[in-house]
Structure formats: C-alpha cells, structure tokens
Chain A
C-alpha cells in the first residue's frame, strides 16, 4: 500500500466513528491548547522584557547596592548583632543596609566606571500646572531610569537642566477644555513650565520650577508612569527635602547607578571589585534575567500540567484504538489475506493514532494561538485594561513553538498507537476470517 493511501485510509477510519474520535481528541486538545497558550505567554512576556532591555540603549549602567541588602555578604544570623557605630544609622526605613558617601567614592574609583549617581527617593507634595491647578504628587520617577523610558513626544530630561517629563495620563492638566487626556496633543505641552512643591524636614513648603521636555507612557517596569525629573532637579528637590534641621547628617543611599565605559570589557572586573567591597553590582540584563527566570519557572510548571494532560490523553488513544482493532478484526484479517504485510497493518493503525494526534494538536494549538492573539489584542490594545502599559506583549506567536508542540503531540499519539497497532499487525488472518 502506498504511503498516501495509508494516510488516506487512516483518516477515513478515524472519521468513521466521529463521536469516539471526537471524545478521544478532546483530551489532546486540552493538552495542546495549554502548551500553545503557555509558550505564547512566556514568549510574549520574555519578548516584552527583551524589548525593554533593548530600550535601555547601550545598557552601560550597573546598579550597585550593599551585598547584605541582596541577602548576600557576611552572615548576620538570627541572634543578636554586635553594635557598630559606623554602620548604625545607615539603614533605610525598612532596615536595608545603605550605601554611604564613602562607598560612592570607592565605586567611582573602580576601573571602567566613569560616573556614579546615588539613587535617592524624593517625595514632593504637589505639581502645579501652568494654570495654577495643583495635583498630588506622591511619587517621582528615578532619573537613573530615564534611558528605559518610552516617550510619545519630546525627549528625556537633560542631566544638568531643571527639566521634567510627564506621563501621557497627566496631559489633561495642561488643557482646561479637555477632560480626556487622549484628546490632548502631547507635542503641545512641550516647553510648558510646571512648579513642584516640596516640604523640608520641618515641614516648611518650597517650590521649584521645571520645564516639561517630554511625555512618557508607562512601560512594563513602571518607568514613565509618574513625572520624571532630571538629575539636577532631583538633586535640588533632595537638597530641600533633607534641609531645615541644623544637624549635619551623613547621606545614605539605597542604590547607586554607575555609568560604565565599556560594559563588555569591564563587567566582570567591576562586579569582582564591588564584591571585594561588600557590594553587589547588577546590570539591567541581570535584573531582567531574574524576572525571566521567574517567568520561565512558571511556564515550566504549566508545561508540566499540559504534558500530564497529554499523557492522560495518550491512554485515551490506546483505549480507542484497542477497541477499534477488536471491532475490525475481520477487516484486518481480510487485508492480511489479500496480501497486506504485518508492517503495513502496523503502519495503518499507527497512522490512525497520528491522525488523532494531528487533529487534536491542530484544534488545540489553533485554538490556543487564536485565544492568545485575541486576548492579547483585547487586554493590551488601546482601551484594554493593560492598554496603558507601553510595549507590553502578553502573547507572541512563535512558529518554532507551534511546530514543536505539534511534533510533541503527534509523537505522543504515535507512541500510544504502537500497542494497538502491534496487536493489529499480529492478527492471524485465518482466525480473523473464521466463521464457524
């Protein structure tokens, strides 16, 4: 029998008892669907992260913090800690070890590092629009993140000028006529001047003026979701925030962003040097790597469930085909009598299993991809609940994944088919055709 005829006959046979085939296929569909959705989801989110990493440009920054803040460094154990006056007072509100001015100088001294910006958190009170309206401003973006920001208009704030960007969602404050920010042209607000209100340590209010130079959209990491000042503006605000008391206080920072001359050449040596100082340096890629590891772990758990579903489905195939072989004993005997070899009979029944697998994976993968694409469009499209997160891809279609899932499902189906197929191949034509 020709391969084409084997295929055609197998397809015809599976279509003979449609309900039984359908029920067998359902289990496979569930497994294939889960695999298709999961791979697409993992691919989409990882794609988003990669896009973000790419968005950081030349990725020439390394983020430095105390090793103990990362759960690394010397062992602190659960018992009482020895008091050290030098390190006391250098912990954040949450008890994290902080970087000192001294640390910053050390970092600056490392080979390959050109500039170090300590990262500190500024809490202004309000932002005043040109028309005098004041808006609550609990959070400011970190200037160090500026390179990762997605802009719809203008540019990122220049380091040494008193400049600021605002999120797209804030545009309505510049235009009395429009309540909906989507109706405001982002270009029209560039060059406007806003005032930032901030209180010092004795709660006395101060204001600082800044020029709007860009309009941002929030990306997956949250960057661009709140107004982002330039370095100079941020420093100025910090200065005000920590002034007002007559006591001199040592500055301490949770993190510092260090600019690196040539990341490829210096990354390892810088990290090593930092480690010697009890510090840890992480690049953007390292951060994203951590996120990707988590996403991959979740994806693998889902793959596991899908594969369990497929294994359960394969028993369905075994069962269905064993029944089919039993019912078609006569037909098999006849084919053998008419000269079909055992090998071809085996091929025919394996092909039926493959057909069931193929059918299941076509429906499952097709449904999964369709669901993913539609859900992605609904959730992240404009107007969707996640539409404001710039650059977010929840689901990416990957031809390689689709082909491998189909291959896997068909492979499992084939394996499931070998037992019934071997049974069929072994049938004795005389026994099968006996009618007494």
Chain B
C-alpha cells in the first residue's frame, strides 16, 4: 500500500480542566493511507467528531502528533494550516452548512474563492462539479430551495471543487432518508473509486460504514476495534478479530 496520507501518534484531546476535565481522546495511533476509505464508527459521545476535527486540522491536539503526508502539522503556523485545509481537504457536513442567501454555484465555489481563484475560473470549475453531480440545472437557485438530497449533493460538490486528496464527511447521511442516503453513498464511493480520493467518514450508519475498506470502532476516546474489507449488505459482521489487525499491519510494512 502507498504512504500514509494521514498519521497520528498518541493523539490526546482533553476538554476543560480540574473537575470539568474530560478526556475525549486517550492516545490514538493509526494511519490512513492514500486512496483509502475509512469509517470512524461508535456510539454518540465516543469521540468520533473530535478525532475527525483533529485529522482535518480544524483543532489542535492536547498531546500527540498529526502528520500530513509524513510532515507533522503542529509546527506549521495557522496560516499554512488554513491553506493546507483549503487545498487538500474537502468537507461534507451532516447539517449541510450552505449559505442560504447565496446561489448554489456561489456555495460550491466558496473554497475556490477563499483559495484566491478568479471569478471566471472558479465558476467554470464549479459548473464542472455540478455537472458531475447532475445538479447543474440548479446552479442559479438559492441553496434553500433544494431538497435534502440535493443539498447534500451541493455539499459534496463543494467538497470536491478544489480537487481534494481527502474528503472528511461527518454523518453525511444523518439527515437523509434511506433512498437518498444510498444515492449520496454511491456518489461518495464512486469518487473514491474513480478519482482515488481518500474518504474519512464519521457515521452511525452501518450500511455506509460497511462500504468502507476499513472501520475504526471507537469507545470512550479509544479505538477498540479495527475491521478491514468491504462488507456487502446482509453479511454485516461487527465482531473484532485482533489477529486480523496485526496481520494487516504486517502486510503494510512488507
């Protein structure tokens, strides 16, 4: 397998102090490889979002290291980190976070605007991804006029527009019905397959988790299990085999 795009070493996140101290992450070490699809699963409050925020460089760990493409990020200044996020990551949120007062196209091209692209180039690129996601006809609509599924498509388009190497999706299907969820999943995994984009998905949805190549099971701030291989619907298996974990790691190093 290729080099890890993201690595962590003894990642610790502590919220509050004194009596209010809460250890959200208790020392996580793992790797995410280029072109991989990884699901972070676990109960509510287990620390999934906290972990994703650290991986996505939105937050700084209390202790430990996050490295992007082999380089530890904590030494970089905030401006560089912003730039890295803008150029290498795409984000899909459960709550969409589309700007209600802007058109679909403006919403989709926001990362490019932030990245300093000129207007005509970013509109061109914006239309390209909207076409790819088959909602180009809604480009001029206001973002609020869309259905949930369409909104999530727009979010994916926005996540894709800067040709990211990693897409982070926090509960991307959490607000969608089953049929729409399936469509959105198909889009995400299609991108993963066709463009080799690394997917990091935080989800409750077993269906979605099962389609990922790897699942990290979290509980109380720790990764308690790791599962490999895509699970086709119906043969869902959440049992954990430690031997398999070690085996895979051996293979990676080989």
Q: Pick the contact of B93 from A342, A343, A433 — CB < 8 Å? A: A433
A302-360 contacts to B, CB under 8 A, are 330-331, 334-344
Q: Pick the contact of B86 from A5, A339, A343, A435 — CB < 8 Å? A: A339
Q: Pick the contact of B79 from A9, A330, A341 — CB < 8 Å? A: A341
Q: How far is the CA of A339 from the CA of B164 in the complex (A)?
A: 12
- Say how far B98's CB is from chain A's closest CB, in angstroms: 9
User: Is A338's CB under 8 angstroms from B101's CB?
Assistant: no
* Residues on B with beta carbons closer than 8 Å to the beta carbon of A334: 97, 99, 110
Interface size class of B (residues with CB under 8 A): 20 to 34
A1-35 contacts to B, CB under 8 A, are 1-2, 5, 9, 16
Q: How far is the CA of A430 from the CA of B53 in the complex (A)?
A: 8
B78-110 contacts to A, CB under 8 A, are 78-79, 82-87, 89, 91, 93-95, 97, 99, 101, 110
User: Is B78's CB under 8 angstroms from A335's CB?
Assistant: no
- Say how far B22's CB is from chain A's closest CB, in angstroms: 15
Q: Pick the contact of A342 from B78, B101, B111, B115 — CB < 8 Å? A: B78
Interface residues of chain A: helix, strand, loop or mixed (majority):
helix
* Residues on B with beta carbons closer than 8 Å to the beta carbon of A344: 114
* Residues on B with beta carbons closer than 8 Å to the beta carbon of A1: 113-116
User: Is B85's CB under 8 angstroms from A337's CB?
Assistant: yes
Which residue on B lies nearest to A9, using beta carbons? B113
Whether A338 touches B91, Cβ cut-off 8 Å, given contacts A343-B79, A430-B53, A430-B59, is yes
User: Is A5's CB under 8 angstroms from B113's CB?
Assistant: yes
User: Is A337's CB under 8 angstroms from B58's CB?
Assistant: yes
Q: How far is the CA of A14 from the CA of B29 in the complex (A)?
A: 47
Q: What 1/0 flags go to B235-248 for Cβ under 8 Å of A?
A: 00000000000000
- Say how far A9's CB is from chain B's closest CB, in angstroms: 8
Q: How far is the CA of A331 from the CA of B79 in the complex (A)?
A: 19
Whether A339 touches B82, Cβ cut-off 8 Å, given contacts A1-B114, A1-B116, A2-B118, is yes
* Residues on B with beta carbons closer than 8 Å to the beta carbon of A335: 110, 114
Which residue on A lies nearest to B171, using beta carbons? A435
Whether A339 touches B58, Cβ cut-off 8 Å, given contacts A1-B113, A334-B97, is no
Q: How far is the CA of A340 from the CA of B83 in the complex (A)?
A: 8
User: Is B95's CB under 8 angstroms from A338's CB?
Assistant: no
A429 contacts B by Cβ under 8 Å: yes
- Say how far A338's CB is from chain B's closest CB, in angstroms: 5
* Residues on A with beta carbons closer than 8 Å to the beta carbon of B94: 435
* Residues on B with beta carbons closer than 8 Å to the beta carbon of A435: 94-95
Q: How far is the CA of A178 from the CA of B55 in the complex (A)?
A: 97
- Say how far B168's CB is from chain A's closest CB, in angstroms: 10
User: Is B95's CB under 8 angstroms from A341's CB?
Assistant: no
- Say how far B187's CB is from chain A's closest CB, in angstroms: 20
* Residues on A with beta carbons closer than 8 Å to the beta carbon of B59: 430
Chain A residues engaging chain B, CB cutoff 8 angstroms = 1-2, 5, 9, 16, 330-331, 334-344, 429-430, 433, 435
Can you pick out 15 interface pairs between chain A and chain B where the beta carbons lie within 8 Å of each other? A1-B115, A334-B97, A335-B110, A335-B114, A337-B56, A337-B91, A338-B91, A338-B110, A338-B114, A339-B83, A339-B84, A339-B86, A339-B89, A339-B115, A430-B58
The 7 closest A-B pairs by CB, nearest first: A339-B86, A339-B85, A341-B82, A340-B114, A338-B111, A339-B82, A435-B95
- Further contacts, 13 of them, CB under 8 A, given A336-B82, A339-B87: A330-B97, A331-B99, A337-B91, A338-B86, A339-B86, A339-B89, A339-B115, A340-B114, A342-B78, A343-B79, A429-B58, A430-B53, A435-B95
